[in-house]
A and B are shown apart, each in its own frame.
Chain A
Amino acid sequence: MIAQTYDEKQMSALLSLDGGALREPLLNDLQRCQTLLDQTLPLDARDSAMVMRNALHELRGIALTVGATTLARHCAKAEAFCDTGHLAEVLEQRAAIHIACEDLRARLKAFTDVAA
């Protein structure tokens, strides 16, 4: 299991904002992006690759915002592979992204529980 790194201060500040109102929308967006990444096959179809790239970009934006450093790094790599057409590498990154997403979701849920 690869260790996931987070900017704890950034995450804490974000999740405390407005009484934790952002947690649910963040969880929803993560779920939506993950679903998009899982469904985007076959990758060699141009449209699928574009959907994958957009989902990766969106996920990276969320990761950067909540301070999920490892997830953001994986997304950036996968995006770059999408741009250069290295599809096998994109699929490799996708597995790592999936793990990082699950970890982040668990974190967000835990934070919700603590706050509650």
Chain B
Amino acid sequence: MKSGIPSHPPVKLLLVEDTPSLQMLYQTVLNKAGHPSITASTGVEALAKFEDHRPGVVLLDLTLPDADGMAIMRQMLARQPTTRVIVITANGSVDKALDAIRNGAHEYLVKPLGDQRLVAAVATALSDYRTQSEAAKALSHSPYDLPVEDFMGQSEVMRHLNVKINAVARSTAPVFILGERGTGKKTIARMVHRKSRRAAKPLVCVNCSALTPAELEATLFAPPAPSDTGISDCAGAFYHANGGTLVLENPQDIHLDLQARLVTALQDESRIAAAGASPAPVDIRLICCARAHPTEEMRAGRLSEDLYYRLFVIPLTAPPLSQRGDDILRLALNFLHRIGKQEGKIFTSVAEDAAAIMNAHRWHGNMRELINVLRHAVVLHQGPELTRAMLPEDMTGHAPNHEVSGRRHAASGGLEAAMKGLTMAEIEQRAVMAAIERHGGSIPQAARELDIAPSTIYRKRDVWTKPKA
């Protein structure tokens, strides 16, 4: 399969008007002003086209033959809060206008719509939408952070996930996102936030396994300085996320004492109190991300039962890359384009044989592995096509290239004999201790190699070194 570089289309405009002559009129006027539009004549058609095209601006007649325009607008904004909806009506009452604005309308136009007024309203809404989209893109921390539309792809499994995300975004209930490493759990958390009513408020992420208990307590709960009028930099995540969303990665790695404090904070309607300070109310929506299933973590005693029931309310699963069908190639093209740009090379397509190998690969590291494979290809080769020869040899089934895949083959070869007769726990212990030794005793470096949290190694090592009763 050969595909071109994915391009980002201009902001789409959806025009919803049931009277054909008026629909034609508005479309003609907007076309002349350089704003082509997609059209719909009923509420059902409007919602279907909204789903398909995700327009940045919607021009919506409030009276539709099959639905109340206000309800349609609410559904659209629940799906994509950044969309700007301009409502059109023949009813010029102030009450109706206020009602529309309260329900999230960007602007309210009363018939007859003058050409200039219509074009100006659409231009303002388009510009407003673009500004917000650019601001959202600027929030991306990694050059590999894809726009969510590109990340989601078009596979069946991701379409199902998207439906769930849309439903979850409307709620304020805690969400728990589960998934293998590199499946985009944080991106999904960002999507839930962006589609929620809290989209304009902060999104704060805390990796609970990267910090010591004291650091994590300060990161979560440190109060704002008393003299501050706003939120100081040293204030905790609960304060920074006030009104918005707090994402906790790996909550099972929170020390049990701190888990108890988190439970108190959550059951007290998020009234957070630092030691010696009076509780201050905060309004946050909590999202957790983890590879480990919280039920197993609770059974193993790493996650308190109280916290488990407060966090594990609505589960979402980030599907592994191997379940995403053609999305693999779509993502590959996107990443090839981005990595190529960074490396000063142009990659525009994937050859059929390379595509077949990529589709059949298991992708244990999911998107991270995909990115590594593509980076390797881009750095060592010239474009514009990614061919089979550019893929690592352990993927293509050729003789092992030790530079690239030595680790994997060693694991499947030499270790196989060494592991014979050992229990799973013993194999794990040996693998971890060997990694620590390879990194000269550095637990953080060993953890990085094994792609687990340092706290997991500390915890396991404590168990291994404790004298057995």
B24 touches A65 (CB 8 A): no
A18, CB-defined interface residue at 8 Å: yes
Residues of B within 8 Å of A96, CB to CB, are none
Interface residue tally for chain B (C-beta within 8 Å): 17
B111, CB-defined interface residue at 8 Å: yes
A17 touches B63 (CB 8 A): no
B25 touches A58 (CB 8 A): no
On whether A21 and B24 interact (CB within 8 A), knowing A58-B18, A58-B63, the answer reads: yes
A85, CB-defined interface residue at 8 Å: no
Q: In the complex, A61 Cα to B19 Cα: how many Å? A: 9
The number of inter-chain residue pairs (CB within 8 angstroms) is 50
Residues of B within 8 Å of A10, CB to CB, are 112
B65, CB-defined interface residue at 8 Å: yes
A65 touches B22 (CB 8 A): yes
B113 touches A54 (CB 8 A): no
B21 touches A62 (CB 8 A): yes
On whether A65 and B25 interact (CB within 8 A), knowing A57-B63, A57-B90, the answer reads: yes
Residues of B within 8 Å of A14, CB to CB, are 25
B440, CB-defined interface residue at 8 Å: no
**Chain A, interface SS category:** helix
Q: In the complex, A22 Cα to B28 Cα: how many Å? A: 10
- The distance from the CB of B116 to the nearest CB of chain A, in whole angstroms, is 11
B20, CB-defined interface residue at 8 Å: yes
A60, CB-defined interface residue at 8 Å: yes
B90 touches A22 (CB 8 A): no
A29 touches B28 (CB 8 A): no
Q: In the complex, A21 Cα to B61 Cα: how many Å? A: 22
**B21, B28, B29 pick with most chain A CB within 10 angstroms:** B21
Residues of B within 8 Å of A26, CB to CB, are 21
B111 touches A22 (CB 8 A): no
Q: In the complex, A48 Cα to B20 Cα: how many Å? A: 22
Q: In the complex, A62 Cα to B111 Cα: how many Å? A: 9
**B25, B65, B111, B113 pick with most chain A CB within 10 angstroms:** B25
Q: In the complex, A96 Cα to B112 Cα: how many Å? A: 22
Residues of B within 8 Å of A18, CB to CB, are 28
For B111, give its contact among A13, A25, A54, A65 (CB under 8 Å): A65
Residues facing A in B35-66 (CB within 8 A) are 61, 63, 65
B111 touches A61 (CB 8 A): yes
Nearest A-chain residue to B88, judged by Cβ: A61
Residues of A within 8 Å of B22, CB to CB, are 29, 61-62, 65
Q: In the complex, A57 Cα to B91 Cα: how many Å? A: 9
- The distance from the CB of A115 to the nearest CB of chain B, in whole angstroms, is 16
Q: In the complex, A57 Cα to B24 Cα: how many Å? A: 18
Q: Which 9 A-B residue pairings sit nearest by Cβ, starting from the closest?
A: A25-B21, A64-B111, A61-B90, A26-B21, A64-B112, A29-B21, A65-B112, A60-B90, A57-B63
Residues of B within 8 A of A (CB): 18-22, 24-25, 28-29, 61, 63, 65, 90, 111-113, 115
